[in-house]
Amino acid sequence: MSVERTLSIIKPDAVAKNAIGEIETRFEKAGLQIVAAKMIHLSQEQAEGFYAEHKERPFFPDLVAFMTSGPVVVQVLEGENAIAKNRDLMGATNPEEAEPGTIRADFAKSIDANAVHGSDSPESAEREIAYYFNDNEICPRG
Ligand code: RTP
Ligand code: MG
């Protein structure tokens, strides 16, 4: 195991539900530190660029429409095994398949409005963190 960073997004549905604090608490209780964070309302271009890997998928237009429907919190989580740990805390993409006690089981309504995003590999994490943050906006606490 090693200390990793991962890109997390609290999606528009969870922000609209006023669940930012409860979700952050889950990350902190699991030993992940929030080392960068900001709230933004993504533009069409920002959302399309972020999800470019899904450009050819049938759900892409709905995904971009949803991600631009309201503000999101984008953040960097740091800790041991942060990428897999965050994915475990999030639960399955489809909340109907998410394990009880996961963020998506508890806060998500549908596969589109599924509360959170998390990087799925070290390569994605590096690209996704750089997509939203400059190096001087990341503040490890050591
Ligand atoms: P995320 O990227 O948001 O953390 O979610 P994920 O890895 O679990 O899922 P991914 O395959 O990367 O898909 C990105 C987002 O697209 C929506 N999606 N819809 N209708 C569908 O079949 C479908 N598949 C994916 C989800 O909102 C998913 O989070
Ligand atoms: Mg993904």
- 112-137 tens-digit pLDDT: 999 999 999 999 999 999 999 999 99
Instruction: Tell whether 26 is in a known binding site.
Output: no
What dotted CATH number matches 3-42+72-137? 3.30.70.141
Is residue 106 within 8 A of residue 28, CB to CB? The reply is no
Q: Where are the domains of the chain?
A: 3-42+72-137
**For ligand 1, is residue 88 a contact (CB within 6 Å)?**
no
* 74-96 confidence digits (pLDDT tens): 999 999 999 999 999 999 999 99
User: Full-prediction pTM beyond 0.90?
Assistant: yes
- Residue 120 CA: which ligand 1 atom is closest? 7
9-25 in b/e form (b: 16+ CB < 10 A) is: bbbbbbbebebeeebbe
> Crossing angle of helices 82-90/20-29, nearest 10°?
130
**For ligand 1, is residue 93 a contact (CB within 6 Å)?**
yes
| Residues 6+ positions from 48 with CB-CB distance below 8 Å | 55, 64
| Cα–chain center distance at 17 | 16
Distance CA 19, CA 31 (A): 19
ipTM value = 0.93
